[in-house]
């Protein structure tokens, strides 16, 4: 029996659904820093471009430098109003400090879908029904950063260049410390108390002259104080730039940048490696769900794709080894990553104390996701502030 194409819209959908193009979708992306910062914001921008490439009918629009210094007085709801006017169907807010604004904007636009990257309003019950949360388990990436830093250090003094102080930044700094301590004690066989791990905070995710401490100066003071590896927790590449300057002066200096897979490119042996976000697969899943009408509010805290953490079509979190990581230490890292993925190693396990000496985890206990997510202090063995003064 012959089948005939009925050109009237509904009948075409019913008889020949494969001939109907997917619904067009516009993504509005709000970036805290410059879209080309070689760090956090560029990783998100490239994640949005990945969706444009992979999902037919998708268009990316964005506004970058959304922070009090670059755009004083401009609120998240105002930005969202503009993105919606330009046709945005899915709005992604890229930074933790946008939490209050994106929640308000979602309430004002109940017919649009919102995703807050790194927030937790779904968990706390504050999120309206059209707002979800998404983040990557960068804790693993920071463990790898600390692990490689401790293996590389000649002095046993590892520094952490931190942004502002909140739950996210505490748990990431603590993860780097735990990775460093594991490498120091379990791989190198050295005493835990001989590892020095110092955290200094600049006050925001990147340098704002007159507002934050200059990250280049902080990194320089680390190296001048005998720390030979600096792990970056900020969005921009000052740590590796300063390390390279010190190396050019004949010093042994290494750095681990953050956020962006290509951060080690051109840095030579200064760069040990970089833990990075790969937002394309996660953003693509969100966009597909909005496009096909299956999106539901949830809290997604996505682990690396352990089969290959550097698979850019699958893994939200990766670690790219740099030229400064020796072949021996690269093999050690690969074994460490495999054990993390197989759950043979859980660094958030007791006994662990908080920085002030009070117990965090007893021997034999492992931290819940909630305990890690909301870490209230740094850990014993870490030098630096646990809270803003």
> What digits encode the pLDDT tens for the residues 19-74?
344 689 999 999 999 999 988 999 999 999 999 999 999 999 999 999 988 999 99
Q: What is the pLDDT of residue 313?
A: 98
8-47 b/e (C-beta count within 10 Å ≥ 16 → b): eeeeeeeeeeeeeeeeebbbbbbbbbbbebbbbbbbbbbb
Position 7 confidence tier, pLDDT thresholds 50, 70, 90: very low
Q: What is the pLDDT of residue 118?
A: 87
Picking from 386, 374, 382, 373, the residue whose alpha carbon sits closest to that of residue 352 is 382
Banded model confidence at residue 14, pLDDT cuts 50, 70, 90: very low
pLDDT tens column, 260-318: 999 999 999 999 999 999 999 999 999 999 999 999 999 999 999 999 999 999 999 99
What number is the average pLDDT over the span 65-89?
A: 96
Instruction: Please state, rounded to an integer, the average pLDDT across all residues of the chain.
Output: 93
The segment with the largest mean pLDDT, out of 68-72, 94-98, 150-154, is 150-154
CA 135 vs. chain centroid, Å, equals 7
Distance set, CA 304 to CA 86, 115, 122, 298, 332 (Å)? 34, 20, 22, 19, 18
CATH superfamily of 138-276+318-383: Response regulator (3.40.50.2300)
> Would you give the DSSP letter of residue 354?
B
Say yes or no to pLDDT of 17 above 70. Answer: no
What does the pLDDT look like over 218-260, one tens digit per residue? 999 999 999 999 999 999 999 999 999 999 999 999 999 999 9
CATH 3.40.50.2300 residue ranges for the chain: 25-136+279-302, 138-276+318-383
pLDDT at 18 over 60: no
pTM: 0.92
Looking at the domain covering 25-136+279-302, what would its CATH class be?
Answer: alpha beta
pLDDT in tens, 169-196: 999 999 999 999 999 999 999 999 999 9
For residues 307 and 300, give the distance between their C-alpha atoms in angstroms, rounded to a whole number: 20
Q: Is the pLDDT of residue 13 over 80?
A: no
């Amino acid at each position: 029996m012959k089948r005939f194409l009925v050109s009237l819209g509904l009948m075409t959908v019913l008889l020949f659904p494969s001939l109907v193009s997917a619904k067009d979708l516009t993504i509005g992306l709000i970036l805290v820093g410059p879209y080309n910062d070689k760090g956090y914001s560029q990783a998100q921008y490239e994640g949005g471009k990945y969706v444009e490439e992979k999902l037919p009918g998708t268009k990316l629009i964005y506004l970058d430098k959304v922070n009090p210094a670059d755009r004083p007085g401009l609120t998240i709801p105002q930005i969202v109003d503009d993105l919606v006017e330009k046709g945005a169907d899915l709005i992604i807010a890229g930074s933790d400090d946008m939490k209050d604004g994106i929640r308000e904007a979602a309430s004002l636009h109940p017919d649009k879908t919102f995703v807050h990257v790194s927030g937790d309003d779904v968990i706390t019950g504050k999120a309206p029904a059209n707002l979800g949360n998404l983040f990557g388990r960068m804790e693993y990436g920071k463990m790898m950063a600390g692990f490689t830093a401790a293996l590389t250090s000649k002095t046993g003094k590892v520094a952490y260049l931190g942004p502002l102080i909140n739950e996210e930044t505490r748990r990431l700094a603590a993860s780097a410390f735990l990775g460093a301590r594991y490498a120091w004690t379990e791989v190198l066989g050295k005493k835990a108390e001989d590892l020095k791990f110092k955290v200094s905070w600049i006050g925001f995710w990147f340098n704002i002259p007159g507002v934050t401490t200059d990250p280049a100066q902080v990194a320089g003071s680390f190296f001048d104080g005998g720390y030979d590896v600096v792990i970056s927790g900020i969005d921009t590449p000052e740590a590796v730039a300063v390390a390279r300057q010190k190396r050019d002066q004949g010093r042994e200096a290494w750095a681990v940048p953050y956020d962006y897979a290509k951060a080690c490119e051109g840095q030579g042996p200064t760069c040990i490696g970089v833990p990075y976000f790969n937002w394309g697969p996660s953003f693509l899943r969100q966009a597909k769900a909005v496009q096909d009408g299956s999106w539901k509010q949830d809290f997604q805290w996505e682990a690396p794709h352990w089969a290959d953490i550097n698979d850019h079509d699958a893994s939200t979190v990766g670690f790219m080894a740099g030229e400064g990581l020796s072949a021996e230490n690269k093999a050690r890292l690969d074994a460490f990553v495999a054990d993390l993925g197989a759950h043979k190693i859980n660094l958030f396990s007791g006994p662990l104390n908080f920085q002030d000496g009070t117990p965090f985890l007893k021997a034999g206990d492992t931290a819940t996701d909630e305990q890690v997510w909301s870490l209230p202090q740094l850990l014993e063995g870490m030098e630096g502030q646990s809270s803003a003064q």
